Structure 1
């Protein structure tokens, strides 16, 4: 695998986490190791990894809770759970929350790598079949690019890209203003709200080439992408 593949590994056992990290790096993966679920959530939002390998039992935020939060905004990034739990109910819960695979401890590195590669291959195959289409635009969240028809793609900032992603996921529905402020700005105070208004204005300008696309302000509630 190419070292462009970025794995976010959340594991609270220091020795195991370091062993897994180093083993993956010898296979040319790039690995971010987090010792708890809260730090893993922050790392996910900042780095947008290609795949998540999450221990289920972690301090501050367990793997199931973390997966639930991530799936509210990201349906595509593969999630593989690591767990000492073996009951069927736990396995079912993991898949119900959006997990793609499940590996029980203790496990071999060879099995972990095979499972990671299978999930990445599946994601690559899915990407060939699906494109995020917003009206006449093609949108790439990971690369933060927006391309209108055959014109040259334009770059988006991190917040522009994620704001557009949430608008797209809720297209033709109202996107709750307070929710998105807390998710992207970590606060819904006056200054954060004014900042978001600026980003909405920037997105409107970038989408104006397609007259069938509109971002409208729903007073008192939020914004709606009409598509």
Structure 2
């Protein structure tokens, strides 16, 4: 099965192959948030089929799967002269397994348990090495807002907006989904790293903080859609 949510900002497709549903759901959510278009396969055979139809720019592949395992998938792809970059994500951490994966033609090897931050960094590195890495700026821009991931700065109308780390992540998520409506649950999942167990009203609190800081330099941009969530939109132009 595949999941696409419009064309992502990075315009790159990642195929995640794992027979463990919690792993694929987590990776799908995390990589969607990073701007990738994500396809999901639950078996080696499904992965081979989706590689032809989904045409991924990179594959995140488990080794231990029933039927056709990850090593066999890589072997088949390379025999068919398919050079799609492959990153193994597996619990098999022996030196022999790593060597076998690389010998067969994988591009990287990451063992479970793993860090989402490290995984996304390795995907970026694999794409760069293959010539498929994103060339876009570290900046996100919407209307008069500019957010820079590298410098961790936010400007509105050319003026610096001082944000906390959480406010920065919240704004980044809103900008990645500009003009879309995002729910409290989606915000909690993406801004509070999937494991927040506290009061969901914290979203309202941080939306309020963010509004106050952004609205110092221009008309309101964060809209509340009652009963649904929030949306970052360009300010309405009022006729004189």
Give the structure-2-normalised TM-score. Answer: 0.50
> By how many angstroms is 1:210 displaced?
4.2
1:103-142 correspondence runs (5 A): 103=86, 106-108=101-103, 112=107, 117=125, 119-120=127-128, 126-128=135-137, 131-141=139-149
SS at match of 2:147: strand
Distance across 2 between alignment mates of 1:109 and 1:147: 47
Q: Which runs of 5+ in 2 are unaligned?
A: 1-13, 61-83, 89-99, 109-122, 235-240
SS at match of 1:193: coil
How many residues align? The count is: 167
Q: Which runs of 5+ in 1 are unaligned?
A: 1-52
* Correspondent of 1:203 among 201, 210, 234: 210
- Whether 1:56 aligns to 2:17 is yes
**Counting helix residues as a fraction of each chain, which structure ranks higher?**
1
Distance across 2 between alignment mates of 1:134 and 1:176: 20
Whether the 8 Å contact between 1:138 and 1:148 is mirrored in structure 2 is yes
Distance across 2 between alignment mates of 1:59 and 1:212: 46
Query: Taking structure 1 as reference, are residues 182 and 95 closer, same or farther at Cα in structure 2, changes over 3 Å only?
Result: same
> By how many angstroms is 1:200 displaced?
0.6
Higher-Rg structure is: 2
SS at match of 2:85: strand
- Whether 1:221 aligns to 2:208 is no
Q: Deviations over 1:81-122 (max 9, x none)?
A: 9xx947631534775598594338632499726x97462365
* Higher mean C-alpha deviation, range 118-127 or range 160-169: 118-127
- Whether 1:75 aligns to 2:35 is yes
> By how many angstroms is 1:167 displaced?
1.7
* Correspondent of 1:156 among 128, 153, 164: 164
Whether the 8 Å contact between 2:188 and 2:200 is mirrored in structure 1 is yes
Query: Taking structure 1 as reference, are residues 221 and 98 closer, same or farther at Cα in structure 2, changes over 3 Å only?
Result: farther
Give the structure-1-normalised TM-score. Answer: 0.52
Partner of 2:10: none
